Amino acid sequence: MTTKEDNELLTRVEGEAPMGRMLRQLYWVPAMLSARLEAGGAPVRVQLFGNRYVAYRTHDGRVGFLNEACPHRGVSLALARNEDNALRCIFHGWKICVSGEVLEVPNEASNPECFRKTVKVRHYPAVEGAGLVWVWLGEGEAPAAPNFEWMDLPPDQAYSCGLELNSNWLQGVEATIDSSHIALLHQSHLAHSTMDMAAARVNNAVRYKFEDTPYGYRAAALREATDGQCVARVTEFVMPYYGLIPPINTGDDQDRTVIIAVPVDDTHLIQWYIYYNTRRPTDSMKRAQRANTWPMAGGVCHDPDRAWGQNRMLMQNGNHTGFTEIVVEDFVTQVSMGPIVDRSAEYLCSADQAIIRLRRHLVQAVRKFIANEMPSSAQPEARDYSRITATGGRLKSIEDDWRHLPR
């Protein structure tokens, strides 16, 4: 059981909370869609861990990521002019470049050249990949940027979308690595699906097997089928907030999914989805479907007074949940738990082993961080993500070794 003290340690990310400090210091964060930044265009406000930032793209295409407040008087740099590859505050004209250097202080009469060099501006390393801007928010020298297999794919093979939700970041991570809900929450979609789990008419009860890795763990969700075979779905959990989800069907050319739960503050997160294919362009139909679904999800998921948009007529006509989209089912159940779940009140079962393991990994890591020790998942040897790929498939029996499935 998770204690109230551990729950606070796991969920709080604002200010000097240890978990927030650890996530900012040790791990890169997917912060926003690259497409929102136009070369020479308006800066964009970004909130992460309860802090306010601005991101912008210079005329020559580089991404700058700064604290939102101008170092002079605190005016928002979201109002700044984007000129000559730098931001100029509209209040008193202070000009700041991507590196954080203050280039001009027009209202300083006494030796402005000398004065500008004394001003310290926090700026943050940023890279782009899979249609996202990734930022490192720590102190000192940044670790190597993530090298997942999707980072350098062309736009037609990797793209991202996301939604801000009214729940704590950990609820998002737990929803991602909980494979036991798929055959239950999403059963109406499986009934009309060709995916392996539906075709096999599997047992809803799931057995878990695990393999610890330097970066986190592999969680094999095993379900017995009526023909005696076993349907295996192997999710990769990469510290601290990545869930790599197996394709819906086996096959080397299937699209793959990554879900990343990023803290906005203590009670909000952005749930990022990356869809990618290393062999061919991703499925354009899915792209069109998501484009229509997600704006609607953003509205209904934040309306508890209307049961988050649940349609009881659909339920009477055979729909299990009263929601027509899989992602909405996930979002609504997550948000319905409240802003921060009291995990000390839960009754966990054997199907929750992946959840228990996740919490244990995070608690151990943050306690090491508090003790000024480096967690194993932040060691240099654990940061090579290039060969991490979620997998799935059929086994002859539930006793077969799932680790032999091709990755």
Give the pLDDT score at 249: 63
Q: What is the mean pLDDT of each run of 10 residues along the chain (407 residues)?
A: 94 98 98 96 98 98 97 96 97 96 93 92 95 97 96 93 93 89 76 56 77 96 85 94 83 83 97 92 68 56 77 88 83 91 93 93 98 96 94 87 87
Give the pLDDT score at 118: 92
Give the pLDDT score at 199: 45
71 contacts: CB under 8 Å, gap ≥ 6: 94, 96, 102, 119, 120, 121
Alpha-carbon span 287 to 166, nearest angstrom: 24
Buried b (16+ CB within 10 A) or exposed e, 6-42: bbebbbbbeeebbbbbbbbebbbbbbbbbeebeebeb
Give the pLDDT score at 324: 81
Take residue 396 and report the two structure tokens written for it: 């002859």
Give the pLDDT score at 213: 96
Helix (H) or strand (E) holding 182: helix 182-185
Give the pLDDT score at 200: 46
CB 222 within 8 A of CB 209: yes
Domains parsed from the chain with CATH numbers:
28-135 (2.102.10.10), 158-404 (3.90.380)
Write the DSSP string, 147-177: --TTTTS-TTTEEEEEEEESS-HHHHHHHHH
Give the pLDDT score at 284: 62
